[in-house]
Amino acid sequence: MESYYLDWANLLLRWLHVITAIAWIGSSFYFVFLDSSLVPPESQELKDQGVGGELWAVHGGGFYNPQKYAVAPKVLPQNLHWFYWESYSTWLSGMALFTVSYLWSASTYLIDKSLMNWSSGAAIGVALSFLAVFWIVYDLICQAFGRRKHGDAIVGALVLLVVCFASWLACHWFAGRAAFLLVGAMIATAMTANVFFWIIPGQRSTVQDLREGRPVNPIHGQRAKQRSVHNTYFTLPVLFAMLSNHYSFTYTHQYNWLVLILMMFAGAAIRQFFVMRHGFKLGRSNHPWPYALVGVAVIIGAIVWMKPAAQAAVALAPSGAPAPTGQAGGPAFADIQKVMEQRCYQCHGPAVQMKNVRLDSAQSLKQHAQSVYQQVVVTKVMPMNNSTRITDAERALIAQWFRSGARTD
């Protein structure tokens, strides 16, 4: 019954997390586009009001004219919309989902004993330290080098090195699926911390100075802009890390840490293309096609590199002998039951029913035969982290059983 409620919590939190992430990323992408698309106003009235740029747009049958002030309007309106709950809600829902999906069952989802045979408490502590340590190191890099000459390039290079090391370390310490998600959560935590510790406080200080008639310190705007730009380049790498848990060929690869690094790098390069494209359309920069080309080339290179070698079909029983034949010409059901008992009953038997699925009877196994084939044979997601050490021969036996009709008689 506990697993049933955990599944509902997982579903609802995932739903909430996706909704809030769409709101946050959508507003972030829009403002990056807006800043890059503004043109100086032609109206003298707008110039006199302090407007530094404007944009005319049409959407949903209406015309819109967003304007950005060089500093601020002469009189601040009483009500200002602050863009921060989108970020906070995304992180809070994501952290809750990470807790329910991975930390709650750390021994199953977080730990791969062939990599690190540590306790659940130790694994959880180290996983959470990834979030905190990365933010501290990243923030120190920004403060130490962000305002120097060529500071953006220096910060970018150093942060890339830190992310690469963290990816390598996570993939050598944790189960592959959890490692990818952990690196994504690590970067996403820094994104929200940027909003919480720098962007919003800086904006509050600016607004307070304007309301009280004090000169505005430009450092607040510069820092906020810097961290906002970092967040937009983090976005696509984080999304890949989060989505990868549905595709086991990425995180189960022998060099999964390199797969993660390559795909995150490709995402950042492609994001650079879109950021610069807005300015190119107004003649402010060269065409950014090289960035898109680099990103796509890295992805294609990864696809070619990761292509599995062709293998001869394996049709062996667990003992290594030729697979026994049942009534339909496939393996005997008794041999399938033996595999299920050794490899699957721990999580889908009488004591525990993860995902509300039981496989310890002929009827229930027949009911879930399609899912078993997909999860165990095709994607090889199950058993989770291969914790029960199912063999290729046993996977082939299940495949032969399913393709011959999944008979249970």
In this predicted structure, what is the pLDDT of residue 263? 97
Q: Among 48-52, 83-87, 307-311, whose mean pLDDT is lowest?
A: 307-311
- Report the alpha-carbon distance of residue 358 to residue 3 in Å, rounded: 12
The mean pLDDT value for 351-373 works out to 83
Q: Among 35-44, 83-92, 157-166, 399-408, whose mean pLDDT is lowest?
A: 399-408
pTM listed for this prediction: 0.82
Report the percent of the chain where pLDDT is more than 90: 54
Q: What stretches of 99-199 show up as alpha helix (H) in DSSP?
A: 106-109, 120-145, 151-173, 176-194
Whether residue 375 is predicted with pLDDT greater than 90 in this model: the reply is no
In this predicted structure, what is the pLDDT of residue 374? 82
Are 86 and 18 within 8 A, CB to CB? no
Q: Which of 138-147, 310-319, 366-375, 391-400 is modeled with the greatest confidence?
A: 138-147
Domain ranges of the chain: 2-306, 333-403
In this predicted structure, what is the pLDDT of residue 239? 96
In this predicted structure, what is the pLDDT of residue 315? 46
Identify the bridge partners of residue 316 per DSSP, sorted by sequence position. Answer: 322
In this predicted structure, what is the pLDDT of residue 15? 94
Per-residue confidence at 230, pLDDT binned at 50, 70, 90? very high
In this predicted structure, what is the pLDDT of residue 372? 86
Task: Take residue 40 and report the two structure tokens written for it.
Answer: 């100086």
Report the percent of the chain where pLDDT is more than 70: 94
- What is the average pLDDT score of the chain? 89
Residues 311-351 have pLDDT tens digits of 554 444 444 444 454 444 678 888 888 898 888 988 888 88
Identify the bridge partners of residue 51 per DSSP, sorted by sequence position. Answer: 69
Are 342 and 334 within 8 A, CB to CB? no
Residues 268-305 have pLDDT tens digits of 999 999 999 988 888 888 999 999 999 999 999 999 99
Are 87 and 191 within 8 A, CB to CB? yes
Residues 69-114 have pLDDT tens digits of 988 888 888 889 999 999 999 999 999 999 998 998 898 889 988 8
Of 112, 253, 226, 92, which Cα lies nearest the Cα of 175? 112
Residues 195-228 have pLDDT tens digits of 999 999 999 999 999 888 888 888 888 899 899 9
**Helix 2-37 vs helix 218-243: crossing angle, to nearest 10:** 130
**Could you tell me if residue 8 is left (phi over 0), alpha (psi between -120 and 50 degrees) or otherwise beta?**
alpha
Rounded to 10 degrees, the C-alpha dihedral 14/19/24/29 comes to: 110
- Report the alpha-carbon distance of residue 253 to residue 176 in Å, rounded: 9
